[in-house]
Amino acid sequence: MGSNDIIEIDHVYFSYDGLPVLQDVNITIKERDFLAIIGPNGGGKTTILRLILGLLEPDKGTIRVFGRTPKQARRLIGYLPQQFTFDFDFPISVMEIVLMGRLGKRGVGKKYTHEDIKICLQALEKVGMQSFKEREIGNLSGGQRQRVLIARALTSEPRLLLLDEPVSSVDTQWQQSFYELLHDLNKEIAIVLVTHDVSVISTYIDKIACLNRRLYYHGSKEEGIRKISELYECPVHLITHGPSQYSPEERIDD
């Protein structure tokens, strides 16, 4: 394991009830990597994240996170699950959700402190949701909910951020700020983003892994995009941010 490797997934196999989901997968993630794991639905992308979080155990192979087992390291990870897993009719406020990120810092049965609340307000400010802190989650739009869940992932002060399909429910006007925020966070922490939407890849992403039960590619973005375009036979658009080095004509699809 290299000195700045934070995740090492080594020859990992995983199956659900005998059905293989992952076969012989190797991925290494270094500090301050911004990796996109791309693949079709059912390709094992969410499973990889759940393995890194120690919610699942591999059938074969090993996973080390920050040199420890996933269960030991999970408190260093900020996690954004997919939206469909939630019941948004649930009686809970924005602040109560964001405070969940601080659960691990407080013991069971202890109250949240002023520091927790301060950190949560800062996280809400980062995603532009501070004025909604008293709002109930049921009264927010899909994009606003997504921002709240991102804020929650940040409040544990993670050293690694795992995002499961973060773009699908982000509203388009916030998408730009969303990537800016990730870019900003990426100066200090590593980010792993999972998506089935190959047509939208940010220029801020620096590595790509293509996963469909097996790992088809793992490496630099440029080479990855060429591979995907071949594999899917569809154009890949790079989302550029602000005054970018890529002009629209230079998109990789031609």
| Given 12, 53, 150, 201, the residue binding another protein (CB under 8 A) | 53
The phi and psi torsions of 119 (rounded to 5 degrees) equal -60, -40
Contact between 191 and 182 (Cβ < 8 Å): yes
**Residue 19 or 108: which CB sits closer to another protein?**
108
Q: How far apart, in whole angstroms, are the C-alpha atoms of residue 25 and residue 213?
A: 8
169 near another protein, rule: CB under 8 A: no
148 near another protein, rule: CB under 8 A: no
| Given 13, 66, 86, 217, the residue binding another protein (CB under 8 A) | 86
Using CA atoms, how far residue 176 sits from 43, 87, 150, 179, 186, in Å, is 27, 27, 15, 5, 15
User: Per CB under 8 A, which of residues 174..193 are in contact with another protein?
Assistant: none
Q: Which residues pair with 16 in a beta bridge?
A: 19
Closest approach of another protein to the CB of residue 218, in Å: 25
152 near another protein, rule: CB under 8 A: yes
Q: At what angle do helices 142-154 and 114-126 cross, to 10 degrees?
A: 130
| Given 99, 205, 225, 228, the residue binding another protein (CB under 8 A) | 99
Q: How far apart, in whole angstroms, are the C-alpha atoms of residue 176 and residue 154?
A: 18
Closest approach of another protein to the CB of residue 24, in Å: 26
138 near another protein, rule: CB under 8 A: yes
Count the Cβ atoms, other than its own, within 10 Å of residue 225.
23
Query: Roughly how many angstroms between the first and final C-alpha of the chain, as a whole number?
Result: 38
**Residue 100 or 252: which CB sits closer to another protein?**
100
| Given 35, 37, 77, 193, the residue binding another protein (CB under 8 A) | 77
Closest approach of another protein to the CB of residue 165, in Å: 15
**Residue 53 or 211: which CB sits closer to another protein?**
53
Q: Which residues pair with 163 in a beta bridge?
A: 80, 193
Q: Which residues are at the interface with another protein (CB under 8 A)?
A: 53, 55, 74-75, 77, 79, 81, 85-87, 89-93, 96-97, 99-104, 108-109, 111-112, 136-139, 152, 156
